[in-house]
Amino acid sequence: MTLRVVAVGPLATIQDPGRPGHGAIGVPRGGAVDRGALTMANRLVGNPDDAAGLEVLLGGLGLRTDEPVVVALAGAPVPVRVDGRAVDPAGPIALSAGAELVVGRALHGLRSYLAVRGGIVTERTLGSASSSPTSGLGPPPLAVGDRLRVGAARAAASPSGWVDADPAYRWGSITDLRVVLGPRDDWFTADALETLRHTEWEVSADLDRVGVRLSGPALARSRPEELPSEGIVAGAVQVPPSGHPIIFLADHPTTGGYPVIAVVVDADLDRAGQLRPGDRVRFSPIPASASWPPSQTVE
């Protein structure tokens, strides 16, 4: 069966957990920016966690079915209409043949994830179906008229309210992100480290799947020389010459030449991927030993 794309909004892409293990050839993990939300949507329709779904930026997606199918959404909360009628997006949604589903504008957060029972089937690159608009790997972003092939269902859809994988968002409040300082925190002044800890940073409009630039006081360096290029991981908080930190996300570069003052722990990285312009962020440094299980490795 297929789903026909009738609207895409700002951006909609096919995503799965990504393609880890290829950092040595310059390919980041990629995949869903909010991995927990994609997992949640997949579990709601009975898919394996690694099934490909759709990442929808700020809503606006429209799909028309050609056969009955079950879908579910997770991540940024959105209003949903089926054939013009509002439906509850909190659990699996059964669509009849010929039905049209419309995902409205996100109420909070940035990215919603739509899973369809059976998963989206498309060609895989380096073992993943994920689209990476910045690198050109994987399928291109969705366009009106595209037809998405759906695989065979493996299990019954889960009941509404099963939230094993649902991240603990606090929409509308300050987002606290735990970080481990380093590896280049010694390139910054003591005042800069205190500023990193105590500032409520504002998310700028300069954000995408690569990273999120924050606005606030400049972080002063204690060393003037340039840093040789070195490996970068998802969650790295890099500080360019402007002094304004950038949080790297799923499509981050695999190397960089600006110092990384801290790294967001893996458990908080999904929340960083839901930040939208104007949101407030606070960094909470923790000991490296407290970030177990280990946070990111070079991918």
How much is the pLDDT for 162? 44
Q: What average pLDDT score do residues 200-212 get?
A: 97
Residues 125 and 184 in one domain: no
Using only C-alpha atoms, what is the Rg of the chain?
A: 20
* Residue 10 tokens, joined: 């700002």
Is residue 296 assigned to a domain? Answer: no
State how beta strands 2-8 and 61-65 pair.
antiparallel
Is residue 245 assigned to a domain? Answer: yes
Q: 262-298 pLDDT, tens per residue? A: 999 999 999 999 999 999 999 999 998 776 554 454 4
Is residue 298 assigned to a domain? Answer: no
Reduce the DSSP state of residue 258 to 3 states and report it: coil
Residue 181 near residue 285 (C-beta atoms within 8 A): yes
* Cβ-based burial of 136 (10 A; exposed 0-12, middle 13-18, buried ≥19): exposed
* Residue 139 tokens, joined: 């399928």
170 closest CA partner among 270, 80, 89, 87:
270
Residues 139 and 193 in one domain: no
Residues 213 and 271 in one domain: yes
CA distance 247 to 70: 35
Residues 13 and 63 in one domain: yes
Give 147-194 as a 3 state SS string: EEEECCCCCCCCCCCCCCCCCCCCCCCCEEEEEEECCCHHHECHHHHH
How many Cα atoms occupy the beta-carbon half-sphere of 57 within 13 Å?
17
Mean pLDDT, the chain, integer: 91
Reduce the DSSP state of residue 269 to 3 states and report it: helix
User: What is the count of structural domains for the chain?
Assistant: 2
Tell me, what DSSP letter sits at residue 226?
P
102 closest CA partner among 64, 61, 152:
61
Residues 286 and 211 in one domain: yes
> At residue 279, what is the residue type?
D
The residue range of the domain holding 112 is 2-150
Is residue 35 assigned to a domain? Answer: yes
* Residue 284 tokens, joined: 């909470």
Determine what percent of the chain is predicted with pLDDT higher than 90. Answer: 83
Q: What average pLDDT score do residues 32-57 get?
A: 96
Q: 63-111 pLDDT, tens per residue? A: 999 999 999 999 999 999 999 999 999 899 999 999 999 999 998 999 9
Is residue 156 assigned to a domain? Answer: no
Residues 144 and 19 in one domain: yes
CA distance 77 to 257: 37
How much is the pLDDT for 125? 92
Q: Residue 254 sits in a domain of what CATH number? A: 2.40.100.10
Contacts for 105 with CB less than 8 Å, ≥ 6 apart: 58, 59, 60, 78, 79
Beta bridge partners of 14: 54
